A = this chain, B = another copy of it.
Amino acid sequence: MSENGSIAGIRHATVVGGGVIGASWAALFLARGLSVTLSDPQPGIDEAVLGHIAEAAPSLAALGLDTSRLTAHLAFEPDLATAVRSADLVQENGPERLEVKHAMWRTIEENAPAGALFATSTSGIPATEIATALTDPGRLVVGHPFNPPHLVPLVEVVPGERTSRETVERARAFYRALGKRPQVLRKEVPGFVANRLQSAIFRECVYLVSEGVVTMQELDDIVTSSIGQRWAVAGPFRSFHLGGGEGGLPHFMSHLGVGMESRWAAMAEEQVAFDEPTRRLLTEQTADFGGTVGELAAERDRKQIALMRALGETFDS
């Protein structure tokens, strides 16, 4: 962060939508010294957003950021056209419905400064489709965070077919300067990368629990004590590369590739769905987690911050 409160040329951010994602972005932008206008027409949104920001503050402080005057440069402006008038960046977190996004982005483009950077937090709608509402589709890019944005480093930057190279580079530079770990995708695919990987593993998770091989809690314990710890420091490819000895990934593919292919074939035959018995089983087992959602989330975030400090991924390290 430079001394005058701008990050990669962004001084004023307009956050559209005050749900969990929008409020988390707002908290991070504020903690990094930006001024923020939050726009959401919903009654009572001010209080809800201030509550989310207050919840995020201890994590932001633990990450090494100054949270003493976190909301000093926060304004609420329900009218979208007014809210974006002096924006350097618009980060949109509206409902995941194409017609709503189209209406929002038309208003944003008509009223924001010509040089403003346009990013949508959408997890499901390609920039290509959202951008059809814009006169200049080159300005819009997906900046998809992993929840919560103020804590998890990843931001998937996903250009649409007509997103300009300049927009992609500005978005990447901004998120990086903000302290995130942006990753530009080379192709637009549904669900982007992280959520696709989550879905892929979760199918097998649900299968193993519904077959009674392990409970949810036991499966989670298996993951945190093995692949989770590995993948926090080396991703799946690197892990298999290093698991194959000196021969690395080529050796792994030659020797274990066939076995893995037959595992894939067997998995394809598994019947997995969120049908009534499965939902009932998983819902029952949530009791094993031993805490409210709020308590468990706080514990998870505390542990993750400890992990990030250990890996040197905080702002003061």
Contact = CB atoms under 8 A, between A and B. Distances in A.
A20 interface: yes
B154 A222 contact: yes
A200 B265 CA distance: 11
Please classify the interface of chain A as helix (H, G, I), strand (E, B), loop, or mixed, using the class held by over half of its residues.
Answer: helix
A293 interface: yes
Contacts of A311: 303, 306-307
- Best-buried of A245, A263, A267, A283 by chain B (most CB within 10 Å): A263
Contacts of A246: 293-294
Given A197-B204, A199-B260, A229-B232, A296 B241 contact: yes
A21 to B, nearest CB: 11
Given A197-B205, A201-B201, A274-B261, A242 B282 contact: no
Copies of this chain, complex-wide, total 2
Interface stretch (A6-14, A73-81, A145-153): A145-153
Nearest to A237: B216
A218 B183 contact: yes
Contact of A257 (B20, B186, B274): B274
A196 B183 CA distance: 27
Interface of A: 20, 124, 146-147, 152-154, 156, 181, 183, 185-187, 189-191, 193-194, 196-205, 208-209, 211-214, 216-246, 248-250, 253, 257-261, 263-264, 266-268, 272-274, 279, 282-283, 285-286, 289, 293-294, 296-297, 300, 303-304, 306-311
Given A146-B227, A187-B213, A223-B236, 16 more contacts: A146-B226, A194-B227, A196-B267, A198-B227, A200-B203, A219-B237, A223-B231, A224-B232, A228-B230, A228-B232, A241-B293, A242-B297, A245-B293, A258-B274, A268-B268, A303-B311
